[in-house]
Amino acid sequence: MNIKIEQRKRVVIITLNRPKALNALNSELMREMVSVMQKLDKDPSVGCFVITGSKKAFAAGADIKEMENKSYMDMFHEDYFAAWEAFTAIRTPKIAAVSGYALGGGCELAMMCDIIYASNTAKFGQPEIKLGVIPGIGGTQRLTKMVGKTKAMDLILTGRLMNAEEAERSGLVSRIIPVETLLEESVEAAAIIASYSKTTAMVAREAIDRAMELSLREGVLYERRAFHALFATEHQKEGMQAFVEKRKANFSIP
């Protein structure tokens, strides 16, 4: 296995584990990760994922050695890396806990998660231009939406790396956490998310993701309909009753 999986109560930690290749993302790793997460996505006891790497590297990109000798026809017929689409379709919330290098496909993997926490040592970049290619797992699109056109152009055209402070300032990263406590604090945040209704969290993240795609008017309508739909759940009843009765809500009901 190219990943390690650990469950802590309702949080599943997935650690990329190809240390000799700085966690470069090859096809095998991608298949393992997607298949494990697809199964756990359906498990009501799993409320949040934390995806992490090592101190030195979250992931130093797609595996250059695997790609090096491929032809256009190989890439096209394999639809190389299209399976990462299945990763984005996983509906359980996902936190990327990034330490060290998050480059190329590594930065793109972090951006396919819902939240990015970075350690003070994190370095983000899309240096594909140095290899004669461009980002291929959504980098030109997601980075542009997250940090804006001029910063995305700067990063992708120069191939330079961005430290954690700049990444937070640019809106790519939501918190910077000391490297020693990155995983623990990320798991704590994941446990908070996982303590709420999984249904509600799924609906919330879907609504936020719509903001990347829809006009404001359509997005607000989508949100309102999703809000209405939550009144069909026991979790809305429990959450509101608990508030009125001045007690903690119990979202472990099915």
Containing 6, the helix (H) or strand (E) segment is: strand 3-8
User: What is the CB neighbour count within 10 angstroms for residue 150?
Assistant: 9
- Give yes or no: 105 in active site: yes
Query: At closest approach, how far in Å is the CB of 25 from ligand CO8?
Result: 7
Nearer to ligand CO8, 63 or 168 (CB): 63
Q: How far apart are CA 187 and CA 93, in angstroms?
A: 12
Query: Does residue 128 have an active-site annotation?
Result: yes
Instruction: For the CB of residue 2, give the shortest distance to ligand CO8 in the complex, in Å.
Output: 13
Clarify whether 108 is annotated catalytic: yes
Distance CA 82, CA 106 (A): 15
Q: Which residues bind ligand CO8 (CB under 6 A)?
A: 21-22, 24, 60-65, 80-81, 101, 103-105, 127-128, 131, 135-137
Output the smallest distance, CB 115 to ligand CO8, in A: 21
Cα separation, 210 vs 220, in Å, equals 9
**Residue number, 63 or 114, with CB nearest to ligand CO8:** 63
Strands 11-16 and 3-8: antiparallel
Q: How far is the CB of 241 from ligand CO8 (least distance, A)?
A: 49
Helices (H) and strands (E) in the chain, counts: 12, 10
Catalytic choice (47, 102, 108, 249): 108
Closer to ligand CO8 by CB, 24 or 46: give it. Answer: 24
CA distance 130 to 123: 17
What is the rounded CA–CA span in Å between residue 206 and residue 223? 9
**Of residues 59, 62, 122, 204, which has the active-site annotation?**
62
Nearer to ligand CO8, 65 or 246 (CB): 65
User: Which of 135, 74, 75, 78 lies closest to 109 in space, CA to CA?
Assistant: 135
Tell me which residue has tokens 């509600």.
200
Q: Which is nearer to ligand CO8, 19 or 178 (CB)?
A: 19
Question: Minimum Å distance from CB 41 to ligand CO8?
Answer: 23
Q: Any catalytic annotation for residue 223?
A: no
Exposed, middle or buried: residue 79 (CB in 10 Å: 0-12, 13-18, 19+)? exposed
Give catalytic residue positions: 62, 105, 108, 128
